[in-house]
Amino acid sequence: MQTITRRTTIKAGTGAILAGATAAQQRAQAPTIGIQVGAISFLDEGVEAVLDNVQKLGAVNALFLATFTYGRGIAGRQVSGSPFPDHGKQEEDRDFHGGFYTTPHPGFFRETALKPQRAPEIPGDFDLLEKVLPVAHQRGMKVFCWYEDVFRSDVPGLPQLAEADLYGRTSSRVCYRNPQTRAFWLGQVEDYLRSYPVDGLMFGSERQGPLNNAIGASHGGAGSDPGRVGCFCPFCVAAASKEGISADRARAGHMELEKLINALRKGARLSDGAFVSFWRILVDYPEVLAWERLWTEGLRDTYRAQFRLAHSVQPAAKIGWHIWHNNTFSPFYRAEQDYAELSKTADFFKVVMYNNCAGPRMAGYVKSMSAGIFADLRPEEVLNMNYRFQQFEERPLAEIPTSGLSSDYVARETRRALATTGRNTSVWPGIDIDIPTGRNEKQTSPDDVYQAVTAAFKAGADGIILSRKYSEMKLVNLKAAGRAIRDLGLA
């Protein structure tokens, strides 16, 4: 258990001095007001126009540019089915593909079969960092590369890095323990830091281990297939064997779990109840839990390796992690996001606290869990239990899809992160501006943004990152973030 916290440090005898030093450092350095932006916005609207908007309206002083992803969450225009915001081209992406939005230099990717591929939807001479970085620096804004673990199944070389599920089938997910995957992420770290004068890097992984996936413990978990979880590739099996963990036993336990979850989802009611039946599998096959820990260690090793390389290449650059929104919904995932441990090798955390879309997403989590290991509880009971687990005071299940979660949730999550995050690691909550939800679900209003930003700073945040991407944000909502920052006297 973590006992040394920022709070206890301040309470301790030397606390006054430490707290004073921290406050002085914070005064000397303006809080980070970040925003995530993809390449298409600069192509559609022009570099100067985008920077004008984010600086003047949002009081932004740091850009998190989507340099690599195959996903439309952080790159591309507004996603299909959601209204276009009041800026940018009012048309959908044609042939969105994804890849690198910079010019990857092949020399940094020699150790991996996953060959860096430029995003083909972007003109051949466009390099996001080359175009934006000098202009941003001239305006006194910092620039971070923002890259995430999202792939397509047809990326050349991907099968050689792929996870293997419990039946040995490969997937479009890369295995964190595969040395070629590690080489791909380290190639990016080195390429960005050696090829461009960037201020830092942010890496995001929105994935979890096989146990959490098997029980569907995420906001999109209702559709998860407990037979497709991984990883059981030769690298993972070898790592387990080194620790004396039997892969065969882990597989056998997962097959029992697969049977249980599939039966519960079909409506089976068990004499011992769903939860006891689940827990019995963990008792009979502790290897299932061991395998979950191995998976998480693979990700943590990836964080550690990137942190060490980044600081050896460019000691002044900051490198940190985007912490997935599932941290809000699933106590199982949350247990694995140990800020005290993770902050040993991170300069900052962007902890996702998207309170608007959190409403429908929390409802999605409850739906998934109510069909699985909590099948004997009513969905409302699952939600109330989850509020206690996660220490939230929020609205009933019938309301959250349209109300979202409150700014009090943002304050609680910020305080919780600060309580155990090491003092050298900054906490920058991710703030939701117009993240797409269903047609009849919660939409972002200027007051939502104003309240969330205010709550994060009042709870002690070292900065914020406006998310997910500029191309989906209404300017009136961006302006509300700037107003909150100015009202707090931070800009």
In the complex, minimum distance from the CB of residue 240 to Zn ion, in angstroms, rounded to a whole number: 10
In the complex, minimum distance from the CB of residue 294 to Zn ion, in angstroms, rounded to a whole number: 9
> How far is it between the farthest Cα atoms of the chain?
68
Give the β-pairing of 162-164 and 170-174: antiparallel
In the complex, minimum distance from the CB of residue 173 to Zn ion, in angstroms, rounded to a whole number: 9
Q: How far apart are CA 369 and CA 365, in angstroms?
A: 6
Q: Hey, what amino acid is at 313?
A: V
84 Cβ contact list (under 8 Å, min separation 6): 77, 78, 90, 91
106 Cβ contact list (under 8 Å, min separation 6): 115, 116
**Tokens 């005290």 map to which residue?**
340
In the complex, minimum distance from the CB of residue 451 to Zn ion, in angstroms, rounded to a whole number: 43
Q: Which two tokens stand for residue 332?
A: 């199982």
Q: How far apart are CA 349 and CA 217, in angstroms?
A: 22
Q: Which two tokens stand for residue 437?
A: 């939800």
In the complex, minimum distance from the CB of residue 60 to Zn ion, in angstroms, rounded to a whole number: 39
In the complex, minimum distance from the CB of residue 250 to Zn ion, in angstroms, rounded to a whole number: 12
In the complex, minimum distance from the CB of residue 223 to Zn ion, in angstroms, rounded to a whole number: 23
**Tokens 């040395």 map to which residue?**
179
* CA distance to 70, 186, 206, 297, 467, per residue, from 147 (Å): 10, 12, 12, 20, 14
In the complex, minimum distance from the CB of residue 150 to Zn ion, in angstroms, rounded to a whole number: 18
Strands (E) in 190-247, as ranges, are 200-204
Q: Phi/psi class of residue 87: alpha, beta or left (left: φ > 0; alpha: ψ in -120 to 50)?
A: beta
Give the H or E element holding residue 323.
strand 318-323
Binding residues (CB under 5 A) for Zn ion: these are 175, 177, 231, 233, 235-236
What does residue 261 show for φ and ψ, rounded to 5 degrees?
-65, -45
Q: Hey, what amino acid is at 45?
A: E
